[in-house]
Amino acid sequence: MTIEVDLAAPLRIADLRAAREPITVLAGPEVRDRLTAGRVFLAKVLGDDRAVYGNTTGFGALVGYAGRADQRDQADNTLAHLGAGQGPDLDPALARATLLVRAHSLAQGASGVSPHVVDALAAALGTTFSPAMPRLGSVGASGDLIPLGAAAQALRGRGNAYLYDVRMPAAEALDRAGLTPLPLDGRDALALVNGTSLTTAALALALDRVRTSHRVIQQLTCVLADLLGCDPQFLDAGLLDRYGHCGAIEVATTMRTVLAGTTPSGTRPLQEPYSIRCTPQLLGAAEDALRYVDGVVAADLAGVSDNPMFFPDGDRVVHGGNFFGQPAAFAADLLTNVLAQLGNLAERQLDLLVDPVRNGGLPPMLAAGPGQQHGLQGVQLASTALIAEIRRDVVPAAMQSLPTNLHNQDVVPFGTQAALRALDQSRLLSLITGSLALGLRQAVHVGGRRPTAPGCAAIVDALSEAIAPIDPDRPLDEDVRRAARIVEDLR
């Protein structure tokens, strides 16, 4: 069944996930009335001979010069110089999420955009069409100009696009999808590019993935503790209440539910390593940080990212900086720090699990026949490489400002880089958690006790039903990915 997204309603991260496939985007009477009012007001303003950035002027540092008189030519004036992006294309699923974010922003009627522009975005999202958008070129200020410029050109039938994830000339993709090239004037073209919709989409999808991994690590920590026979007192409610941090209290409550019914073995040390004992504090701090990112994403999805903005009721055209992606930049940097520490935790838990000195006497590397077989040895090596890759890339982007555009953009947030990086690294985090899940499945096979808590046993059962024990050795790359999918789909 095709999912419906109403542009008059709040936009949700789930809508962005759904946009990887064809969706029905509704722009009903409320949206159309807003768009029409904004468009009528723009015509009045231009008729009054008022200065409007991008309609009567050049762009960026050339704002002091007159633009092209013909508004159709002004669209070319807007977009042609932005065709300077480099690097690989963005994932078509991310590009489509970006189109949806842009449509929702424009649909609020403050951009003075033509109704047919929103209609065209909705129509494209109803097919598998996706613009080919270059990864490199945005500084996250004045919007994601270069990648969004490529998207606008693709909607016009210029440049390249994807259909069913196959790259082809945009004009061919439009024709095959049953879409028509989008006509634009100067305001329409500028409104399509002058916002941080790519940054917002990437941040929202990264947050979604990290929240999933955060939940998974809570569950796998419980399985690890149960499998080893740990005493669950590190999750004691009174203990965490005295700690005083809301996130830790909530995480411990969730973990106690998963571990309910566990029976400690009585053979473990009085105090477990930090990778078990301090998990409610670590994962709780992550929860508190993720709540901040939740708020930034919610505001970005609800807000209007554009310049200028039009207020018909007050007869005002307001020029400002609502295309400046600093909130998303700060949030994406924080998200990357969170996911790096989550990756540190999961990788250390895997290290504990394969070490016979600390894993309760299970064979080294969880090999069914050590020496003749090597169990998780390759998986642990890969996990170490994955966390190293994440940690190498944690340097904040939000304060790396460089002036550009003749010092018109003299301070920039680099939110696009921060958000895309967080999305990239969130995928690596999923592979680390998949590696840990695979290790837990193998531990039971080589002599680890079956978890005594029903919630933990259910997780091991789901893994065991889908993944054969590693006996004998085999390539495990697909098993890691399968294990990640299994635990991510559990609730």
pLDDT value for 76: 87
pLDDT value for 411: 79
pLDDT value for 239: 97
Residues 261 and 178 in one domain: no
Confidence at 53, pLDDT banded by 50, 70, 90: confident
Look at residues 172, 25, 155 and name the one whose alpha carbon lies nearest to residue 95: 155
Residues 259 and 342 in one domain: yes
pLDDT > 80? residue 413: no
pLDDT value for 150: 97
Amino acid at 440: L
Residues 39 and 83 in one domain: yes
Task: Determine the angle formed by the axes of helices 115-125 and 29-47, rounding to 10 degrees.
Answer: 140
Q: What angle do CA 299, 301, 306 make, to 5 degrees?
A: 90
pLDDT > 90? residue 2: no
Tell which of 164, 195, 226 closes a domain.
Answer: 195
Residues 439 and 381 in one domain: yes
Residues 332 and 436 in one domain: yes
**In the chain, pLDDT over 90 holds for what percent of residues?**
84
Residue 374: what are its φ and ψ, rounded to 5°? -130, 0
pLDDT value for 109: 95
Question: How buried is residue 90: exposed, middle or buried, by Cβ count under 10 Å (0-12/13-18/19+)?
Answer: buried
pLDDT tens-place string over residues 68-83: 877 777 888 889 889 8
Instruction: Note the pTM of the prediction, 2 decimals.
Output: 0.96
Residues 187 and 240 in one domain: no
Half-sphere exposure (CA, 13 Å, Cβ side) for 204?
A: 28
* Higher local confidence (pLDDT), 78 or 196: 196
Residues 373 and 468 in one domain: yes
- The total of structural domains in the chain comes to 2
pLDDT tens-place string over residues 437-469: 999 999 999 999 999 999 999 999 999 999 999
Residue 444 is part of which domain span? 202-489
pLDDT tens-place string over residues 336-386: 999 999 999 999 999 999 999 999 999 999 999 999 999 999 999 999 999
Known catalytic residue: 53? Answer: yes
Tell which of 195, 224, 247 closes a domain.
Answer: 195
List the structure tokens of 151.
């998207």
pLDDT value for 447: 94
pLDDT > 80? residue 407: no
pLDDT value for 185: 92
Catalytic residue, from 53, 65, 164, 274: name it.
53
Residues 140 and 81 in one domain: yes
Task: Give the CATH number of the domain where residue 170 resides.
Answer: 1.10.275.10
Task: Give the CATH number of the domain where residue 375 resides.
Answer: 1.20.200.10
pLDDT > 80? residue 14: yes
Confidence at 171, pLDDT banded by 50, 70, 90: very high
CA dihedral in degrees (74, 78, 84, 85; nearest 10)? -140
Confidence at 409, pLDDT banded by 50, 70, 90: confident
Residues 191 and 329 in one domain: no
Residues 330 and 473 in one domain: yes
Lowest-confidence segment of 6-10, 179-183, 257-261, 268-272 by average pLDDT:
268-272
Tell which of 145, 164, 195 closes a domain.
Answer: 195
Residues 159 and 259 in one domain: no
Residues 140 and 264 in one domain: no
Q: For residues 427 and 334, what is the distance between their CA atoms, to the nearest angstrom?
A: 16
pLDDT value for 65: 76
